Amino acid sequence: MEAITRLSSVVCCDNCNWQQDIDERELKDFVNKLCPECGFILLTEQAYLENNLLLSLIDFTNKIMETIDGTEEEDIEVSVKIG
């Protein structure tokens, strides 16, 4: 079970509210792309890197939570054997 579940990613324009659902693997394709509605840059390199950092933090947190869950299961298993 993931501690933090990611909702689907959306690319949106800060200028005119245009938006599109995307797979997060497609996100890098939107770096420095222009909005089809108004020509505003959709995703700067900086914003892309910040987004990647956020996704990494979510994955990292989930891995820690999985590890903690696993430890609890082992503890239960051990106590059953003792009992």
DSSP string, 28-63: GGGBTPBPTTT--BSB-HHHHHHHHHHHHHHHHHHH
Kindly write out the interface string for residues 4-33 of this chain, putting x where it contacts Zn ion by CB under 5 A and - elsewhere. Answer: ---------x-xx-x---------------
Task: Give, for 28, the enclosing helix (H) or strand (E).
Answer: none
Of 25-33, 36-44, 48-56, 64-72, the window that binds Zn ion (rule: CB under 5 A) is 36-44
49 lines the binding site for Zn ion (CB under 5 A):
no
- Least CB distance from residue 18 to Zn ion, whole Å? 4
